[in-house]
Structure 1
Amino acid sequence: MLGAKATSPKEVLRALPQAWEILRGNVDAGSTGEVAGILATMRIPRTVLAIAAGAALGMAGSLVQGLTRNPLADPGTLGINAGAALAVAAGIYLFGITSMQAHLFLAFAGAGLAALLVFGLSASGMGSGDTIRLVLAGAALAAVLASGTAAIVYVDPNALDALRFWQAGSVAGRGFDVILPALVPMAVGTLLALALGPTLNVLGLGAEAAQGLGVHVLRANAVGLVATALLAGAATAAAGPIGFVGLVVPHVVRALTGPDYRWVTPYAGLAGACLLLSADVFGRVVMRPGELQAGIVIALVGAPAFVWLVRHREAVRLS
């Protein structure tokens, strides 16, 4: 109902059957009413993407914090956002790729390669349970990849134009041709993340204690990185690098559920979906008839929340 064009509940309910037929490809959007066309081509796709991407980022944030034992970590800490951005910029600069569908696959591949590099750089430390190496490797790699993106953008105005909108983070303007391919890795990452809950609880006791209880620390970190890359990589590829969701949401959830990752991870997904969807709806109505991108709204909320978390250390304890 909410957007640049105000729509009543009655109009939405009346237009939903027509919107469904448009989505199925049985009728053309131009041959139906205006409301049905808006629902099918704009509001339903962006709602689905906001829910899926928000849930993925929330769960990825809980995984990263559980793996690194760092309460101020998020998927960007591992260089996933930077890897996605560099892959998109390189595709534009080297091959002239401009389609959003191609950008999706480039960004997802870049995010996956970044996660693989982080794992490779820190594998020896992770084998002994030293998660500090994981954080340092991610931070160093993110800086290097961001420098590469900046260099491409500096020499190629076309890459700058294409990245400007994507890097702000938005769920608008994406059709199901982009959303559906992103849902598959998100679903696989969700299953892995939920299965890792008990393992993350044991890892919280320390690497030596976890090994004594039968946990293979290196394997657990590898699976966690794969799940994070699938979740955050797909979300970043489809919606752009939206920050603070993976950082703030797990702490809010942990205050309600406690430190048990069997509960933290699924509820972080639910809270992340609610947060990103709310930010998108707010961005639609606050600047009518224009829009404020969801990534900007999240940053406006997330930056003060980040400062508060840093200043109140007792609020960011992982146990």
Structure 2
Amino acid sequence: MDSIAIDRFEASRNRLASLAYRLLGSAADAEDAVQDTFLRWQAADRERVEVPEAWLTKVATNLCLDRLRSARARHERTAGAWLPEPLLEGDPMLGPADTFEQRESVSLAVLTLMERLSPVERAAYVLREAFSYAHAEIGAILDITESASAQHVHRARRRVTAERRGGAEVDPASARRIVEEFLAAAMSGRTERLVAMLTADVTALSDGNGLARRLLRFTTPERVASYVRAGFKPTEAKRRLAGGSPVFHLARVNGSPAVLAVIEDRVVGAVTFEVSDGKIASLRGIAAADRIARLGAAWRRYEPDAPVISAW
């Protein structure tokens, strides 16, 4: 392959990775899809490709659809143990973030909700909301009509909007303050203060420190507060499991405030928060090593603020 062809692909790599991540919810799978796209580009009759960007987008999108439709993916995503892979702020795979719709499309909440869409609905929604493709372009990518694209996007947007918790954009500084207060209450053991900081319909999801075969789900402010208090309460067993005593840093993950548990420079767990009307509307606890590997690698290159909890 000549250098011009390689340069054309490399110019699209980050955009393709961002697209694939939104479609698959997994950075590792997105990287595989981008590599497979490169192999197709390598083998293609490139003299006949009029618009390389459009060709690459179509190939990458359809490779992702093949993955979403595979029996393995259907099993993994319906077995109750699937969560989107979290990404630290600044990760190029998060992609475009100029508009609210672009930022929203990569939030863990929306990535989770998109699991309820059909693969074609998901692709049409992502191409439209995150990358501003026209319906005619989406139709060409997905081999459907322009009107079918509009229908898929409309249905997807309606479902995501109807089930979206909160949905309004929150000032990052305000969200950080709320999470700081919540974390202080969790560490102090003031469960009643935790309850007061949760919305009435709050939910929490956890992978059980990466050990649970199914996601742990908690509802009602009282149950979520108990889960949080137990999770942040230091014990010798937890220290042994984590391989040491962590410190806790505030960060932004997929556009939302998060608390990262770090031992030396190793991220051992992440809790992401969704804030709505000054309260915590949802939490996700993620500690499975394979699910936080990319976040952990990014953290080692990151320059964080001082930890909010330096002794645990």
Task: Report the TM range for the smaller structure's normalisation.
Answer: under 0.3
TM-score with structure 1 length normalisation?
0.27
Whichever structure has more strand as a proportion of its residues is 2
TM-score with structure 2 length normalisation?
0.27
